[in-house]
Chain A
Amino acid sequence: MTVQLKGRAEAITIQWIPKYTFMERLGHWLHTATFVPLAVTGMILYFPFLQPLAQGEAGLLIRLVHRIAAVIFGLLPILYFIIQPRRLLLNIREFLPNKDDLGWLKGAPAYYLLGRHEAMPPQGRFNAGEKMNGLVMIIAWFVFGLTGLPMWFGKGVIPPELYRWLVVFHDLAMIVSVCMFLVHLYLAVAHPLMWAGLVSMRFGVTSADYAAEHHAKWYYGPKRAMEIWEAKKREAAQH
């Protein structure tokens, strides 16, 4: 009996290139480490079936955890701004929408569900999906802070009419950001095409091949990326 080898055996070498700075990664993981406990402790008050965990001493404890996590969560972007103000502004600018996002939106279903590479036009360091995630988290940070701080310190100070709207908007920010988080978690952990995402957020580097495929405009520069993509499309049309 013989074993047939498919293809020829060769050593796989990955060329690693830097993608995220140390501060970007630290900020990302501290954000995660506070966002998750905040969401969990918040949901204990949100879901009626978790009511036993919200009662009495346990309830006091989850509200305390929520507050401790909230302080760190709130301070993170401020500390980032103090340490690296230009970097933060650059990150925010990278998250702003541009015309590449339309191409991503059009190509995303075929690309992410069917793996059709030619459907996805070249993207920058952050593609439209990553930008959406970033923008939702930035907006949610403001909404959580602007509603959460008065909910903490404003009882009896601000009018109850206002307070009632604050709890509703705190909930809405949670619903939107948790949904975004779930999708982000799936893509980062389980989607085959996104294999390098978690690696780069852990170690700061990404594969050059991965960067060429997912972030061509960042890897090659906008002009070269478009030329390569046009060539790829022509090739696909001939087949």
Chain B
Amino acid sequence: MTTIPLAIPRPVHPTGIWSWITTIDHKRIGILYGVTAFLMFFSGGIEALLIRIQLARPEQNLITPEIFNQLFTMHATTMIFLGVMPLSAAFFNFVVPLQIGARDVAFPRLNAFSYWTFLGGALILKMSWLTGSAPNGGWFGYSPLTGITYNPGHGIDVWILSLQVLGIASLAASFNFIVTILNMRAPGMGLMRMPLFTWMTLVTAILLVLAFPVITVALIELFFDRAFGMNFFNVAAGANAVLWQHLFWVFGHPEVYILILPAMGIVSDIIPVFSRKPLFGYGTVVLAGVIIAFMGWMVWSHHMFTVGLGPVANSVFAVTTMMIAVPTGIKVFNWMGTMWGGSLSFKTPMLFALGFVTMFVIGGISGVMHAIAPSDAQQQDTYFIVAHIHYVLFGGAIFAILAGVYYWFPKLTGRMYDEKQGQMHFWLMFIGQNITFFPMHFTGLNGMPRRIYSYYGGLGWDFWNLVSTLGALILAVGFLIFIYNMAKSWRKGEVAGSDPWDGRTLEWSIPSPPPEYNFVEIPHVEDRDDWWEEKQRRRERRAVPVVAGGSDADEGHDIHLPQPSYWPFFVSLGLFIGGMGLIYLMNVDADGIRTLNWAALTVTVAGLFMGVVSVYRWSFEPVNDPEPDGGHAAH
């Protein structure tokens, strides 16, 4: 297999599908990330709809208990690892280099690698629906339930390996963005002049780089237990059944901020533009983000208030969890301060950003409620928590991501989305969100456990479950409008121009869509909100309207860009094949006897060999082959 790519010469000017497979342009990778992540997000949405339909009425039997458990496991894993995280990554890719005045990311091939690896991990997970062994242990995978004794088969192995592959993808992307942001800022752009989204990307990437290895180790240990009969979570051998929970949440709580900080960054960029005011208290907002990331490491046990850590630990974690509400609150207050005295325009991005703030406040308040350890004991694992997480992750992260999609859509495509449909989408989402998830507060406080496939009538849960299901259908309609709007506007929307929102940051100073090299000349940054200030300065000099950037096609001729490459794709393919093989490496029968699956071992070795060879070829491939006309941007 590997001999074929070895013989292939470097793709200098690939076309068609190969131009996408070999691309290392951060904007194209951003598009790949975004489109893939939305597809995954919709698949997770379908899983959610099936859950909601099953729970619409008491004692329904549309879905078997086993499939129901697979559905909620896949729904959460999908939404977190294949939805929100890669959607944020799509924005990192597309927006960050434009915001810092760079022509690409620091390691374009590594960037391509992280996308293809993400796709591989996503496919490993999603293909399990077809092989009939979808994971069923919850996205948190608590041992011993995920051990081989209580969970035979390969469902959990699928979950482990897909998370490992996705972890590699996330780590690669995060290394890349840390270096890009620290090292590739335009001259004059000090750290405290960076746009908030770039700042939060940096903080998120650092969090991810430090948090992901923890879950990597936990998953390795779980895999070793399952495949090779080791003892990490084997209670009979003296293992601590709660260790997994510690490892998982030491990763899992920073993960929550990995999901929400980019969203906060997006909103912090949008609100000033649509208020025509700079962000209120820029320094405080940045600092609050950094403090949240730091404190995110000190609160993990609030997920474990009821596992019996003792009153001292519970008190400490209750207090740290309350404290983390302070910097979060500061952010909300500063967004309000930004709007105060501004001139607010309610285009779709702003509507979604405001939707984010209002919904996040509700999710934040219910979050502080969970910090109250004793009363949390009445709420943990009830629908009250389901309400809380959806207010912060759906009403929060997804609303902010949609705000970002509408906000940067004209920059991405050069065309304008349909404003009317955008507003319709927003109102369906806003209403649907509250109809779906607010009643879950009631069902939760009325004692409805989460993760139950059915319930008996007469417990006071019937009505509100039906309401939630109806709300979910409203959300589905909203997303159909969104898909239609995006698909149509991408091809046929009005031409947007370079700066449709009267933007404040550098990405609005270049044409839409941006040329492959982004900036004809690397800008010199003199201010925070540099593009806004620049426009004011020009306006003062001569009262003529400012046209952004040069759109002259000839200008980019002499800019050298790195050339496309096959190797990132093939390394990822190798990881994907190797991961698939590892899932089925060991067969464990009912008596716990393990036998090696030789076919799976062969596939694993083949995949890893392919990966290693491709890594080698990649290492010795120069960024640019010394070819007379190779790498010119305009062709």
Is this pair of chains taken from one and the same complex?
A: no
By a beta-carbon cutoff of 8 Å, the part of chain B in contact with chain A is: none
